[in-house]
Amino acid sequence: MTMRELTFTAAAREALAEEMARDPSIFVVGEGIGQRGGNFNTTTGLYDLYGPMRLRDTPIVERGFIGMCTGAAMTGTRPVVDFMFVDFILDAVGELINQVAKIQYMSSGRLKMPMVLRGSIGITGASATHHSGSYFPMFVNIPGFRVVVPTNAYDAKGLFKTALRGDDPVIFLEHKSLLNSKTLVPEEEYFVPFGRAAVVREGTSATVVAVGSMVRKTLEACETLAGEGIAIEVIDPRTLAPLDTPTILQSVHKTGRLLIVDETFQPCGIGAEIAAQVVAHGFDDLDAPIMRLNGVYTPTPYSPPLEAAVVPSTVQVTQAIRDLLAE
């Protein structure tokens, strides 16, 4: 395979470009995704190729264009909703939960819902409380969504391609702190399947499931600990729905210890679900309490020192692993 370095954003854009070239029924809606190419350069260059019908700038009507795309997806086209910041689609939750997630079921599979909803998440850069949410637990809780949280360029492209080939609604969440991070990406076409976690580091001392931007910080923490002969296994779920529980159980079977690191809110979060799965199905493997490290349970403050206090740091991840091992 011929490889080249791409940023997360470029890799995801390449996936979109390839699929738009292949499938004329794909169109993108969003604010500034036309000529401007997207607030996060998600569509740069595509407007010149495909024009306004397929790269559709919208007024500020998140509910409106998501509801519109629902009808479009029911009638033979494949909308890609580029919502810029996930915070904005909260105005469309009624359409998402009551319509998008339920149409296939209510029609007994006679209607499909091939819609990809993509945009940025995460606390970084003093983006404050209306531009820093993640909000994925609500979409994991509700049946009918695929929830994808890529953590590197390779996965971003492969998962986005999978999203655009499927017939289910996909919530594709891109952490702002990862958008410019680079990895090697093959020239050749490839897909990353949903529901397949990545074991990004092997180890035997304990298992850490890290979500989104926490993968990098966890790997940094593991480097430090490796020096002390501590071998941590790190799992990146990649998709939160479906969640690859078997891979997590397998790892805990080996290590006997589990920590879940997640920037987002703890109560009823993804860490709670993972802990509940493991204590139900991996109970006998557990040598210690399952621990969770989450961002502080508060709206996101603007001021850098406050923001820094909210997001789990590499130091905190390291300490959390030490605490787990001390149990």
Ligand X SMILES: Cc1ncc(C[n+]2csc(CCOP(=O)(O)OP(=O)(O)O)c2C)c(N)n1
Which of 14, 31, 95, 131 is an active site residue? 131
CA dist., res. 186 & res. 155, Å (int)? 11
Which of 14, 19, 62, 263 is an active site residue? 62
Beta bridge partners of 241: 147
Segment contacting another protein by CB under 8 A, of 4-12, 103-111, 180-188, 213-221: 103-111
Tokens of 199: 């074991």
**Using the rule CB under 8 A, is 246 a contact of another protein?**
no
> Is the backbone peptide bond immediately before 242 cis, with ω within 30 degrees of 0?
yes
Residue 150, binding choice from its own copies, another protein, ligand X, none, Cβ under 5 to 8 Å by partner class:
none
Residue 128 DSSP one-character state: -
Q: How far is the CB of 273 from another protein (least distance, A)?
A: 18
Residues 60-99 that bind ligand X (CB under 6 A): 60, 62, 88, 91
**Using the rule CB under 6 A, is 31 a contact of ligand X?**
yes
Give the binding-site size for its own copies (rule: CB under 8 A): 52
Exposed (0-12), middle (13-18) or buried (19+): which is 241, by Cβ within 10 Å?
buried
Give the binding-site size for another protein (rule: CB under 8 A): 78
Q: What character string, x for contact with its own copies (CB under 8 A) and - otherwise, covers 83-122?
A: ----x--xxxxx--xx--xx--xx----------------
Residues 253-282 that bind ligand X (CB under 6 A): none
Residue 273, binding choice from ligand X, another protein, its own copies, none, Cβ under 5 to 8 Å by partner class:
its own copies
CA dist., res. 221 & res. 215, Å (int)? 10
Residue 281, binding choice from its own copies, another protein, ligand X, none, Cβ under 5 to 8 Å by partner class:
its own copies
Sign (positive/negative) of CA torsion 129, 133, 139, 141? Answer: negative
Instruction: Determine contact, residues 238/198, Cβ cutoff 8 Å.
Output: yes
- Nearest to residue 46, comparing CAs of 68, 61, 64, 26? 26
Segment contacting its own copies by CB under 8 A, of 20-28, 192-200, 223-231, 264-272: 264-272
Among 189, 280, 299, 327, binds another protein (CB under 8 A): 299
Residue 267, binding choice from ligand X, its own copies, another protein, none, Cβ under 5 to 8 Å by partner class:
its own copies
Segment contacting its own copies by CB under 8 A, of 27-35, 141-149, 204-212, 312-320: 141-149
- Beta pairing, strands 239-241 & 258-262: unpaired
Residue 167: C-alpha distances to residues 25, 118, 208, 243 (Å): 13, 15, 32, 18
Among 165, 299, 308, 315, binds its own copies (CB under 8 A): 299
Give me the phi and psi of 44, to 5 degrees please. Answer: -50, 125
**Using the rule CB under 8 A, is 168 a contact of its own copies?**
no
What is the end-to-end Cα distance of the chain in Å, rounded? 45
**Using the rule CB under 8 A, is 135 a contact of its own copies?**
yes
Rg from Cα positions in the chain: 20
130 is catalytic: no
Among 48, 49, 125, 280, binds another protein (CB under 8 A): 125
CA dist., res. 101 & res. 94, Å (int)? 10
Instruction: Determine contact, residues 177/213, Cβ cutoff 8 Å.
Output: yes
281 is catalytic: no
**Using the rule CB under 6 A, is 50 a contact of ligand X?**
no
Catalytic positions: 62, 131
